[in-house]
Amino acid sequence: MAEALSRLLKPWGGWSAFVSPGERVLLKVNLLSQAAPERAVTTHPSVVEAVARGVMAVGGIPEIGDSPPFGGFRAIARESGIEEVARKLGIPLLELGNPKPFEGGVPPFQRLLLSQELRRFDKVINLAKVKTHTKMVLSLAVKNLFGVVPGKLKGEWHLKTHRDDLLFAMVLVGIYRMVNPAFSLLDGIVSMEGEGPSNGTPRNTGFLAGSPDGIALDAYVASLLGLPAKRLPTLQAAERMGLVDPGGYELLGERPGPERFQGFLLPKTLSGERRVPLWFARLYLGLRERRPWIDAALCERCGRCRQICPAQAIVGEGEFRVDLERCIRCFCCQEICPAGAVLLKKGWKSRGNKSGGRA
Ligand code: SF4
Ligand code: SF4
């Protein structure tokens, strides 16, 4: 891993191009939920270890952090293998809590509540996992920084942006710009396809990709998967916000062959309904949009979906169900469910279209 990383960083001259001696560096990993590394939910510990060692070798002082939307941070870090990396290298593990206002976001969200811990660091290195995402199509570098919004506050953004995926993506891009990571690295050694970001299928794609420009990096990885940039709401948002270089980007170093991504599965229930006016959604598209549904046979009654739901739409006592009148279709429940019991169903207009497509 160290060798692959050093080849990747070579065009820039190694970690010293991004980290100076004595700088405090946050390694922002993906600790979405409790899962062993082979499930491809979290950043792989070997990637985190190689980056931490590289940062330390140039005199940086790393800490490893994230803020899972639900579940014990420590338990998730332990199961992911990242706690062991921190212990072995003697570096702190940090839960990104303590929300404080940060100014300079994207209209109409100029003020964002992010973890105050960010202020302690000179640099952020963004260590994202390559995964599918039922709302954002793919979870890559830009999406990974949503983790600096402490815990359940993430759900409030779904509420504020309602079901407009592009508006939500603008918030994500705004957070990315505010955090401004020195370098973003995508762990695509084992990616997740299908029903990501937590219940998809691991797929051996065997690559690492990195860039100081996380937006260009996301565009590159989307292209590897055969997806045009406009298919990703975050890239659409970045373009709208004038953050995409019209000259494109320069590719440096090794590139994985297309055979590794052939037939890469996207989520079955990808939305084709972005930027739907609410009145129209209620009157017509409500019949065909995706709706969360809890499969009682799979549900373990852990209550996580109910706790994370920003709209208090999970109701019922012995058996949980979704109150669709209240539900804002943020799909946090599906993301967090450890049992894969929250399914996304489409209405009658889309019946028969069982596949979300292949890349
Ligand atoms: S649907 Fe999933 S998250 Fe909700 S209670 Fe059942 S198992 Fe837990
Ligand atoms: S029920 Fe699920 S999709 Fe609906 S608002 Fe709650 S968390 Fe979001």
Whether the pLDDT of residue 123 is over 50: the answer is yes
Whether the pLDDT of residue 154 is over 70: the answer is yes
Distance CA 239, CA 219 (A): 11
Residues across the chain:
359
Pocket test for ligand 1, best of 195, 301, 322, 323 (most atoms within 8 A of CB): 301
Residue 65's φ and ψ, nearest 5 degrees, are -145, 160
Residue 102's φ and ψ, nearest 5 degrees, are -120, 135
Kindly tell me the sign of the dihedral angle through the C-alpha atoms of 219, 224, 229, 234: negative
Distance CA 55, CA 341 (A): 40
Under a CB-based contact definition with an 8 Å cutoff, are residues 213 and 176 in contact?
no
Question: Which token pair is 72?
Answer: 């014990």
Q: What integer pLDDT is reported at residue 62 of this predicted model?
A: 98
Whether the pLDDT of residue 276 is over 70: the answer is no
How much is the CA Rg of the chain, to the nearest whole Å? Answer: 20
Would you give the DSSP letter of residue 358?
B
For the Cβ of 225 lying below 6 angstroms from any atom of ligand 1, the answer is: no
Question: Which token pair is 272?
Answer: 């084709």
In terms of DSSP H, where are the helices of the chain?
2-9, 45-57, 73-80, 82-89, 141-144, 153-160, 165-179, 214-224, 233-240, 278-283, 304-308, 332-336
Helix (H, G, I), strand (E, B) or coil at 292: strand
Whether the pLDDT of residue 174 is over 60: the answer is yes
Residue 112's φ and ψ, nearest 5 degrees, are -120, 140
Q: How far apart are the CA of 307 and the centre of ligand 1, in A? A: 10
What b/e string do you get for 136-163 counting C-beta neighbours within 10 Å, with b at 16 or more?
bbbbbbbbbbbbbbbbbbbbebbeebeb
Q: What integer pLDDT is reported at residue 208 of this predicted model?
A: 96
Helix (H, G, I), strand (E, B) or coil at 73: helix
Pocket test for ligand 1, best of 300, 312, 331, 343 (most atoms within 8 A of CB): 300
Domains annotated for the chain, with CATH where assigned, are 2-261 (3.40.50.11440), 278-350 (3.30.70.20)
pLDDT tier at 332, thresholds 50, 70, 90: confident
- Mean pLDDT of the chain, nearest integer: 88
Of 72-86, 132-146, 318-332, give the lowest mean pLDDT range.
318-332
Kindly tell me the sign of the dihedral angle through the C-alpha atoms of 97, 102, 104, 106: positive
Give the nearest ligand 2 atom to 305 CA.
Answer: 7
Of 2-11, 84-93, 304-313, give the lowest mean pLDDT range.
304-313
Residue ID of nearest Cα to ligand 2 atom 4: 327
Higher pLDDT, 358 or 81: 81
For the Cβ of 339 lying below 6 angstroms from any atom of ligand 1, the answer is: yes
* Strand 137-139 versus strand 123-133 pairing type: antiparallel
Question: Which token pair is 61?
Answer: 């002082």
pLDDT tier at 279, thresholds 50, 70, 90: very low
Q: How far apart are the CA of 334 and the centre of ligand 2, in A? A: 8
Whether the pLDDT of residue 125 is over 50: the answer is yes
Q: Where are the beta strands (DSSP E) in the chain?
A: 24-28, 61-66, 93-95, 99-106, 109-115, 123-133, 137-139, 183-193, 201-211, 291-294, 314-315, 321-322, 342-345
pLDDT tier at 66, thresholds 50, 70, 90: very high
Q: Name residue 162's amino acid.
A: H
Helix (H, G, I), strand (E, B) or coil at 209: strand
Question: Which token pair is 131?
Answer: 């995964």
**Mean of the pLDDT values across residues 171-200?**
95
Residue ID of nearest Cα to ligand 1 atom 2: 337
Question: Which token pair is 88?
Answer: 């072995």
Q: How many CB atoms lie within 10 A of CB 207?
A: 20
**Mean of the pLDDT values across residues 165-182?**
93
Pocket of ligand 2 (CB under 6 A): 292, 309, 311, 313-314, 322, 327-333
Helix (H, G, I), strand (E, B) or coil at 251: coil
Question: Which token pair is 10?
Answer: 């070579």
Please name which of 161, 142, 342, 165 lies closest in space to residue 270, comparing C-alpha atoms: 165
Q: What integer pLDDT is reported at residue 247 of this predicted model?
A: 83
